[in-house]
Structure 1
C-alpha cells in the first residue's frame, strides 16, 4: 500500500531535503522516524528537493508498507518522534501507482524580503535596509519569465538534468509595508533557479540591470550572465499541486 505524507519544515538546521553523505537532511530524519515506528525499512520519495537552509510550507512524499494503519495516529506518533522544526501535517492512502514527484502538476515558491531590519525575522527573510527597489520594474521583468521555457541561465552549473525547460505560470512581486514577497509557480524548477531569479530581479530593481539586460540573460542561456543567488533562508516551497485523482485524498 502506498501512502502520501504532507510535511512542513524550517530548513535552517538541515542540508536540504535529499539524503546526502555526511550531512543532516530532512528526508533522512523523516525516513528514520518512519522506519523506527513502523519497524520496517522505509523508502521515502519526495515531490522535489530543497537546498540547504530552504524551508517548506508544504512538501509531499510517498512511501510503501504492507500493512494498513490508522493515519492520524501515525502522524501524531511521528510528530512526537521528530524534532520541532519538522512537522507531519497529514498522512493518507493513495493508489499504488501515485507518485509524489512525477505526478505533481505544479510547484510554488515564495521568497520573502524585509525592507529594513527586524531581529525576529532573521532566519526567514532576506533583510535589505540599504536598497531602494523599483518594484514595478521588477514585476515587469518577472512577467517576461512566462514567455520563456529554457531557464539554463538560472540553473546551478554542473547539474545533472536532461532538460532546462520549465513552464512558468505565475511570477510576481507583492509588497505589503516592509514585506516584499516574490511568488513563482511552475511545473518544475531547476536547482538554485528561484534564488538566481530573485538575485537577478533585485539587480533590475536596483537599476544595475535593465529590462533589456534581463531579456538578454534569458536568451543567453548562460548562468554567468545572470545575477547572484539570493540567500537561502528567505526561500519557501509553499505549495505542491496534484491531479484530482490524488487531490481527492487530501
Structure 2
C-alpha cells in the first residue's frame, strides 16, 4: 500500500481574481484553482488545507498550506516551474517542502500578520492595492485608538455577522500605523483572526482618523461586542496577508525572501 507524504506549500496570490481562499459553490477561489492544478500535475487527487481564510479580493504575499501526496516528484528541479506554468496568473508557488505527518498549516500556525495600505495621493499604479481615504486622516490619533486592540481579547464587534466561529477571542500582539512618503500601512498580528476582522477594524480606525469616532469611543465599541457598533469594513483590495508563523523547524524551510510582491519597501524612509 502506498504511503502518503505530507508537504507544506508556500505561495502568493492576487486576490482580485478570486472570491477568497476557501472553496465555495459557483465562485472562483484560490484553494480550488490550486487543487485542480496540483491534482493534474501529480496525477492524483490532491486536497489542500490552508493556514486560514481570506476574504474576496484580499491578497496574500505569503501564504502557507499543506497537502498529502504519494507520487509528488520534488526531486524534479522543474516541478515548481511546471506547476506555476499550469496555474492561472493570479497564483504563484514559491516552494514545496516535506514536513511531518501531523504538521498542520492551520492548527500549527503561531501567528498571522496582515498589512492594510492607504494612499494619500491618487495614483493609478497603486489604486488596485491601496485605499485612498475620502478625506485627510489623522494617523497619530488612529494609533492612539489602535493601542486598545492590544488590551482586549474578544473582538466580536469586528466579526462578520452570522460567522460560524466558535469563539471571538483572539490574542492581538501588534497593531499600529506607519507613515511613508505618500501612504500609510496598518500592520496587525494575532494568533488568529475572525472573518472580516481586519477590514472591520481598519474601517473603524479610519472613522477615528476622520474625526467621527474618538479613541475612547473605539475602545467602547470593542467592549460592546456587537458588530452593529463598528464602522463599515474597509475595501478588501488594500489588505495583504504577509506572514504566517510556525515553529523554528518549519520557519527555517520557508523562503521569506521569495515571498510575493510588496509595493512598500521596508527600507523606505518615513515622512518627517
Aligned-partner Cα distance in 1 for 2:122–2:74: 46
Deviation at 1:192, TM superposition (A): 0.4
Aligned-partner Cα distance in 2 for 1:176–1:152: 31
2:153 aligned with 1:180:
no
2:219 aligned with 1:195:
no
Q: Contact conserved, 1:152 with 1:164, CA < 8 A, in 2? A: yes
Aligned-partner Cα distance in 1 for 2:185–2:147: 15
Deviation at 1:212, TM superposition (A): 1.4
Deviation at 1:66, TM superposition (A): 1.8
| Per-residue Cα deviation, 1:130-159 (whole angstroms, up to 9, x for no partner) | 412111110011111001000000000100
Q: Contact conserved, 1:94 with 1:249, CA < 8 A, in 2? A: no
Deviation at 1:68, TM superposition (A): 5.0
2:198 aligned with 1:170:
no
Aligned-partner Cα distance in 1 for 2:197–2:80: 32
Relative distance call for 1:132 and 1:68 in structure 2 (3 A) is closer
2:248 aligned with 1:244:
yes
Q: Is the partner of 1:121 in helix, strand or coil?
A: coil
Q: Is the partner of 1:92 in helix, strand or coil?
A: strand
1:25 aligned partner: 29
Q: Contact conserved, 1:132 with 1:206, CA < 8 A, in 2? A: yes
| Per-residue Cα deviation, 1:206-249 (whole angstroms, up to 9, x for no partner) | 11001111111011001000111000100000100101232233
Q: TM-score, normalised by structure 2?
A: 0.89
Q: Contact conserved, 2:170 with 2:193, CA < 8 A, in 1? A: yes
1:121 aligned partner: 126
Deviation at 1:76, TM superposition (A): 1.1
- Report the aligned-residue RMSD: 1.0
2:114 aligned partner: 109
Q: 1:35 aligns with which of 32, 39, 48?
A: 39
2:15 aligned with 1:5:
no
1:78 aligned partner: 83
Deviation at 1:79, TM superposition (A): 0.4
Equivalent residues in 2 for 1:195-234, closer than 5 Å = 195-234=199-238
Which ranges of structure 1 fall in alignment gaps of 5 or more residues? none
Aligned-partner Cα distance in 1 for 2:65–2:195: 19
Q: TM-score, normalised by structure 1?
A: 0.97
Equivalent residues in 2 for 1:51-90, closer than 5 Å = 51-70=55-74, 72-90=77-95
Deviation at 1:58, TM superposition (A): 0.5
Q: How many residues align?
A: 249
Which ranges of structure 2 fall in alignment gaps of 5 or more residues? 255-272
| Per-residue Cα deviation, 1:67-107 (whole angstroms, up to 9, x for no partner) | 35226432111101011221001110001110000000000
Q: Contact conserved, 1:93 with 1:249, CA < 8 A, in 2? A: no
Aligned-partner Cα distance in 2 for 1:194–1:70: 36
Deviation at 1:36, TM superposition (A): 0.2
Aligned-partner Cα distance in 2 for 1:49–1:219: 25
